[in-house]
Amino acid sequence: MKKTAVITGGAGFLGSHLADRLLQENCKVICIDNLITGNLDNIGHLFGNEDFSFIKHDITNFIHVMGPVDYILHFASPASPIDYLQLPIQTLKVGSLGTHKALGLAKEKNATFLLASTSEVYGDPLIHPQTESYWGNVNTVGPRGVYDEAKRFAESLTMAYNRYHNVKTRIARIFNTYGPRMRLNDGRALPAFISQALNNEPLTIFGDGSQTRSFCYVDDLVDGLVRLLFSDEVYPVNIGNPAEITIKQFAEEVIELTGTKSSITYMELPEDDPKVRQPDITRATEILGWSPKVDRKTGVLRTIDYFKNQLKH
């Protein structure tokens, strides 16, 4: 019999790619999403598929799903700084109440639960690269605290359900991921640079551009997530691409790859912006046999193509 996977946040960027992949893995997929930052266009191509269904629902309220469920992938949450700074209470609620409801469903159905956690649990890190054993450096009362602390709470709640209720749980600490279906205007550096370049506008760097990021292509990330889901690993696993680049170098790379005439402008660095970000993926490699395959140039070119198409509509 086919397995059934529930994806909270399934109409979002990552959730919709996971839906595609799990359908390919011969699962039935139920996406639950209130569309607060997601978009039905991301899953529009799946609506004719008899193994796919969509439920519009705010998962901070009780989640009811008919029939057996084997996997719950909990991806619902505003995820980009622009979103969670505009939706601070919703972000805290979905990380706490939403995670509670999703874990409750996992307990009821005896399903395996995978939490989409984040590298932001490391805050502005004091060790580099970041290993899972690092406890992080988060400002609880800063503007970004709403996201970081919601995810840290979600990790603790997940471990409590594992230890106290014996729910099979997995925690993925996801690092910056990019690819088709990102929103052009979600405020993250990568879509911002590409859309500015395609519109021949100056690329906006916050700070002096010496801060680093490590970008993972979405297909690689999804592969790591599925391997984690099917593994037995309970403790957090970093999933990301360790290829680190400064924001300034990345802006120059986007200028080169798009062939734009855009220049670069500099603006003030937002509060608590992490200065460095690079995953240590030793655990993912050892436990899951996973490492990213898509190099940045290939991934960025695919993403540029997607954004070019989006701009036509």
Q: Where in the chain does DSSP place strands (E)?
A: 4-8, 28-33, 52-56, 71-74, 112-118, 169-174, 177-178, 203-206, 212-214, 216-217, 237-239, 244-246, 264-267
- Tell whether residue 31 is a contact of ligand NAD (CB under 6 A): no
Closer residue to ligand NAD (CB): 31 or 251: 31
Binding-site member from 7, 22, 33, 304 for ligand NAD (CB under 6 A): 33
- Tell whether residue 116 is a contact of ligand NAD (CB under 6 A): yes
Binding-site member from 3, 25, 36, 100 for ligand NAD (CB under 6 A): 36
Q: Which of the stretches 171-179, 200-208, 258-266, 274-282 binds ligand NAD when contact is defined by CB under 6 A?
A: 171-179
Binding-site member from 4, 77, 158, 238 for ligand NAD (CB under 6 A): 77
Beta bridge partners of 6: 30, 72
Shortest separation between residue 263's beta carbon and ligand NAD, angstroms: 27
Query: Which active-site residues does the annotation give?
Result: 147
Q: In whole angstroms, what is the distance from residue 217 CA to residue 181 CA? A: 12
Q: In whole angstroms, what is the distance from residue 199 CA to residue 17 CA? A: 27
Site string for ligand NAD, 128-147 (x = CB under 6 A): --------------------
Q: Tell me the two tokens of residue 145.
A: 């605290």
Shortest separation between residue 300's beta carbon and ligand NAD, angstroms: 15
- Tell whether residue 157 is a contact of ligand NAD (CB under 6 A): no
Phi-psi region of 196 (alpha: psi -120 to 50; beta: other; left: phi over 0): alpha
- Tell whether residue 217 is a contact of ligand NAD (CB under 6 A): no
Q: Which of the stretches 12-20, 189-197, 248-256, 289-297 binds ligand NAD when contact is defined by CB under 6 A?
A: 12-20
- Tell whether residue 179 is a contact of ligand NAD (CB under 6 A): no
Beta strands at 71-74 and 244-246: parallel, antiparallel or unpaired: unpaired
Binding-site member from 6, 19, 38, 255 for ligand NAD (CB under 6 A): 38
Cis peptide before 180, with omega less than 30 degrees from 0? no
CA-wise closest residue to 246 among 210, 222, 278: 210
Which phi and psi angles does 36 have, rounded to 5°? -65, -40
- Tell whether residue 14 is a contact of ligand NAD (CB under 6 A): yes
- Tell whether residue 225 is a contact of ligand NAD (CB under 6 A): no
Shortest separation between residue 13's beta carbon and ligand NAD, angstroms: 3
- Tell whether residue 176 is a contact of ligand NAD (CB under 6 A): yes
Q: In whole angstroms, what is the distance from residue 223 CA to residue 229 CA? A: 10
Q: In whole angstroms, what is the distance from residue 17 CA to residue 295 CA? A: 19
Shortest separation between residue 1's beta carbon and ligand NAD, angstroms: 27
Q: Please, which residues have CB within 8 angstroms of residue 219's CB and are 6 or more apart in sequence?
A: 17, 179, 294
Site for ligand NAD, rule CB under 6 A: 8-9, 11-15, 33-38, 58-60, 75-79, 94, 98, 116, 118, 174, 176-177
